[in-house]
A and B are shown apart, each in its own frame.
Chain A
C-alpha cells in the first residue's frame, strides 16, 4: 500500500520481511535458519520467505539454540550470510557460548582470517503477561562484548533499514527487535538507507537531551509531549544502534543542553544507560541521570509487571528533576 510520501505502509514485522527479501534477492549467500521460520516465524517476521526462496535458504531447524547459533557461525565462516533466529532474547542464552566465545571472538582470535557475518535476531523486552523468562531486556550484555554490533530498532522504517545494513556489515550483529512492536505500522521508504551507528533525532529542543531506544521511545515521546506542554523542549534521540553508538550526535546535543537523561526498559543497574551517562559526563561535563527498571525479574500479574515498566510519568519526573 502506497503512502503520500512514496513509501509503503508496513508493520514492523512486515518491514523486516521486506528487508530480508531484498537482501536474499541481492545476495544468494543470505540464508535464514531457526525454529518455525518456514511458517513465517512466530511473529510473522519471516512470512512468505520460505515459499519465495525455498527450504534450503529458509531453513527450519530443531529446537537447538546452541546448534542454530553455532551452525550459523560455521555457515558464516564457510561463506554464507546467515540470519540466525533465536525467537526471543531469553532463549538466545541457550546459544550463549556460540555467540560470546565463538562468533564474537573468531575474527580477532584467528588474526583476521575468519569473518562471521551473521545476524542473530533475538526479540527483547517485556512481553505482556509473559513473566520472568520471556520479558528480559539484555542488550547491555551484548554491548559489553567486543566483536559484535548491537542494534535495536524502534520503527518499521528503521527495522527495514537497519536489518539490511546489519546483513551487509560483515561482522556478527545482535539484532534486538521488541517483542511488542511487531504490529506497529509506519511508512517504509525503500530509498532511505539507515546506516549502523547513526542515531535519529526525533525531536529538537534545548532544555535537555533525552536518549533511548526500542519500544521505550514511545514512552519517551509521550513524556516529551507532557514536558512540551510545560514549556520544555526536549532533544529526543533514538539511539537505534547500541554498538557502535552515535557518540557524535549524543555528545553534541549534551554539550548544547548541558543535561542528559538516558531511559531504557532494561534494569537500570549496570544497564547501557550508565555507559552513555558516564561517557557524556566525561566528555562534556553535563549533568546526567539514567532511568531504567528496578533490579527485579519481570512478574506475571499486571500489578507486578507494572513495577518493571518505565512509563511517561516517571520519565517526565526524572526530566523535571534534572532541570530543577
Chain B
C-alpha cells in the first residue's frame, strides 16, 4: 500500500471494515452462548442469538479487501459464513444484529437468522445454508447483468475451499467462462470443511488450479494480508468490469474458531491454530498502518467506534419487536398462499 495520504486513508478504511466485522462477530458469539447448538446438544439458558452461528474470525481481510472495490449496484452471493461479506458490502450493522436476534426489524424479518443474512438493498443476494449453492446463483445474476447491459456492474461470489468439491462449483465456472460473464469468484480457503481438513479431501491444487483448467485466470493471494487482497482484487475487479469475463481469486486464510460457535474444534492441532494466530489479519494491518505513519490514536478510535456501534446494535436488537406470528404466513407465495388447511 502506498504511503501517501490517500494510501493511508484507504488503509484505515480497510482496517475499519475488518474491525467492525470482528466486533460484530465477537458480540454475536457472546449473545449466542447458552443457546441451542447446531450439533444437536441443547445447552440451558436463553441465548439471544440462536441456531448455528458460523464465525469468520481471522478471515476478515478477504471481504474487506474485495468489497472495497464494489459499488452498491454490484451483486454479491455468500456462504453460511456471511457476516463479513454482508458488512463489507455496506449492509447496516444494527439491522444485521436484529436478524441474528430473530427480530422483526432484521433484514429478513426474523425469518432467516445468521445463516441466511441478505440485504438486497446493497446488492447482497443472500447467505446460504447449502454449500456451493451460491455459485450458480452468482452466475445467473452475472448472466442477467450481461443480458440487461445496463452498466458495467459485476457479481462477486464468495465460497469456501470445501465447496470446490461439489458439482455446482465446476458447473458454475464452466458456465461463467462459456458465456464470458462478469463474475469474480472468491475462494476463501480457510483449510477446514466443518470437522474435516479440506486438503486431504481435494485432488490437485485447489480452486485456482481448477479455474485454470477451465481457462479462467486465477490468482492466489495471502488472504490474511488485507493490502495484498485489496491490490489483487483491484486488478481482477477491473478486468471483470472491463468485460474480460470471469476471474477467480484464491485467498489463503484460516478459520480461527470452530465450524460453528459451539464447536470447540478439539479435532484440530493446537499448534496449527497458534501458528495461524501469528498472522491475524487485523493485528498485521495495524502494524502495517503504524509503519506507514498512521497514528495509534486513529486506529484506537476506529476500534472504539466499532465497539460502540456494536453495543448500540445490541441494544437496538434487544429492544426490537418480535415478528408477528402471522408473519410466518407472509412472503410464502402469492398465488395460492394460505390455502393450506
Residues of A near any B CB (own CB < 8 A): 13, 35-36, 38-39, 42-44, 60-67, 90-91, 94, 127-134, 179-180, 182-183, 267-269, 294-297, 299-304, 306-308
Contact = CB atoms under 8 A, between A and B. Distances in A.
Contacts of A127: 38
B194 interface: yes
Given A36-B196, A90-B130, A300-B113, A179 B340 contact: no
A256 B340 CA distance: 30
B51 interface: yes
A295 B340 contact: yes
Contacts of A304: 102, 110-111, 323, 325, 327-328
6 contacts: A63-B201, A128-B42, A129-B102, A131-B116, A183-B42, A299-B323
Contacts of B33: none
Interface string B156-200: 000000110111000000000000000000000000011110001
B130 A131 contact: no
Query: Number of contact residues on B: which range applies?
Result: 35 or more
A183 B52 contact: no
Interface of B: 35-36, 38-42, 50-52, 102-103, 108, 110-113, 115-116, 128-132, 162-163, 165-167, 193-196, 200-202, 267, 322-325, 327-329, 332, 339-341
A183 B194 contact: no
A17 B214 CA distance: 42
A306 B326 CA distance: 11
A258 B51 CA distance: 43
B195 A42 contact: yes
Given A131-B129, A180-B40, A300 B340 contact: no
Say whether chain B's binding surface is mostly helix, strand, loop, or mixed: loop
B15 to A, nearest CB: 32
B115 A268 contact: no
A87 to B, nearest CB: 9
A63 B130 contact: no
B300 to A, nearest CB: 36
Contact of B129 (A133, A267, A301): A133
B130 A91 contact: yes
B40 A183 contact: yes
B110 A300 contact: yes
Given A36-B194, A301-B102, A301-B322, A129 B113 contact: yes
A307 B328 contact: yes
Nearest to B46: A302
B328 A294 contact: yes
Contact of B113 (A13, A131, A295): A131
Nearest to A294: B340
Given A182-B40, A299-B111, A304-B111, A62 B167 contact: no
